Amino acid sequence: DTPSSAPLFSSELNIVDLAGSERPVAHWRGKDVGQIGRFSPAAASESRQQQESGAINKSLLVLSTVIQKLCEANRQGADAKGAAAPHVPYRSSKITRLLQNSLGGNALSMVICTVTPASGHCQETFN
C-alpha cells in the first residue's frame, strides 16, 4: 500500500552490426565492370552495392561525430560548470537515432570489434 523506495532500473540491449568501409567490387565474374554495360543486372547490382556502402559509411561517420560530441560534453562538464553543452546530432542518421538512449546519459556501452590479423587485409582493418 505504500510506494516502494527501491530504485527503479531499466535496461535496453542493442546489438548492431556496423559493417562499413566496403569497397566497390572491381570485377564481376571475371569481367571489368566497365565492360558489363550500363543497364545490365550486374551494373544495377553494382550500383545498389555502392549506394548501400555509401549509406553505411555515412551512418558510421555520423555515429563517430555523435560519440565525439558526447566526449566533448563530458569533458566540458568536468572542466567548467554551467558551460553550454555542444549539440549532439542524434537525428542525423537512423542508427544514431535508434541508439540515442544507449549512447547518452548514464548508459554503459560496449563495442566488440572483429578484425582479421591477415596482412592482406591491413588497409581494411585500419579503416
Q: Which cell numbers in the block locate residue 124?
A: 581494411
Q: Specify whether the CB–CB gap between 58 and 93 falls below 8 A.
A: yes
User: pLDDT per residue over 85-125, tens digit each?
Assistant: 788 899 999 999 999 988 887 888 887 877 888 888 887 77
Per-residue pLDDT band at 59 (split at 50, 70, 90): confident
Question: How many angstroms separate the CA atoms of 85 and 75, rounded?
Answer: 10
